Amino acid sequence: MSTEQQRQLDAILRQGGLETGGDVAKLRAAFDELMARVPVASDVRQNPVQLGGVDAIEVTVEGNAAESVILYFHGGVYVIGTAVASVALVSDLVRRTGGKAITLDYRLGPEHPYPAAIEDARSAYEGLLAQGVAPEQIALAGESAGGGLAVAVLLALREAGTPLPSCGFLMSPYADLTLAGQTLAEKESLDPVLSPDGLRARVPDYVGAADAADPHISPIFGDLAGLPPLLIQVGSHEILLSDALRLAERAARSDVAVTLEVTPGVPHVFQGFAALLDEAGEALDRASDFVTTHQRSRPPSSRS
């Protein structure tokens, strides 16, 4: 454990924190400015593409040769965030898996409330299938809201009878927009990134006139039976810790192969700080092993 690294990262995040409860336009501008400071390695290639009619960025690393694909959904409480802002984290995962990723610019609230994001995610996945990419060569991944969106689109694909991808990798999933998790209060003082009030302010922007307990909005309430293997990673200092815990329990009760990793002392989406935190790189190493194992081993007979 890197206690000093954790302490330094916590101080950095508290000093430059982003409060999600403010004006949407100002919040987006502040987030974009913050993420523009995150360096992307010189051997990372970013190619703007459209997938199923949805704008996205194809992320590759020079020298990678695998045909596997990660379809990635960024975070941002369904209101902020962009594909380009996710490239640094996505490229760290791509570098380890040897394949490529496509990070999606799904539509955001309040301009485009539910079900716009899930429609875009589903269209992009179906776009990959239409290109001839085999489902067992696709993994879904996402952080925060993107992690919740990954599970929600898996439910939608299963219900539609669409062949499912090989696996799902979820970082700090935001899986309960009813905000019923106990750790929203229990971990509030420890979380340097998110606050309960900030989440509450943004829920109506995405949920709109729908029910926040709808499993396609809050997959914590869904029947997860039949979903592919899931890896859930979360930090013990997150107000969303209980989302991850309950989602993992829900998956296990539905006979889904699920691996839950709780890393002590780290913040929300700690994997994005691999340059500063040993635990972040180690978590991405394990995630890479998970993704490549399932993309390699899933038999064609499981395409249903």
The span from the CA of 200 to the CA of 179, in Å, is 8
Q: How far is CA 255 from CA 24, 33, 90, 145, 302, in A?
A: 40, 43, 29, 24, 15
Please, which residues have CB within 8 angstroms of residue 273's CB and are 6 or more apart in sequence? 9, 280
The 3-state secondary structure of 184-218 reads HHHCCCCCCCCCHHHHHHHHHHHHCCCCCCCCCCC
Q: Tokens in use for 195?
A: 């606050």
Distance of CA 179 to the CA centre of its chain: 18
Q: How far is CA 77 from CA 22, 139, 142, in A?
A: 13, 22, 12
Map tokens 């990262």 to a residue.
Answer: 9
Burial zone of 147 (CB within 10 Å; 0-12 exposed, 13-18 middle, 19+ buried) = buried
* Options 68, 86, 144, 288, the catalytic residue: 144
Residue 35 contacts residue 109 (beta carbons within 8 Å): no
Count CB-CB contacts under 10 A for residue 23: 9
* Options 136, 143, 238, 279, the catalytic residue: 238
Count CB-CB contacts under 10 A for residue 220: 26
Residues in the chain: 304
Question: Does residue 144 carry a catalytic annotation?
Answer: yes
First-to-final CA distance of the chain: 41
Question: Does residue 304 carry a catalytic annotation?
Answer: no
Positions marked catalytic: 144, 238
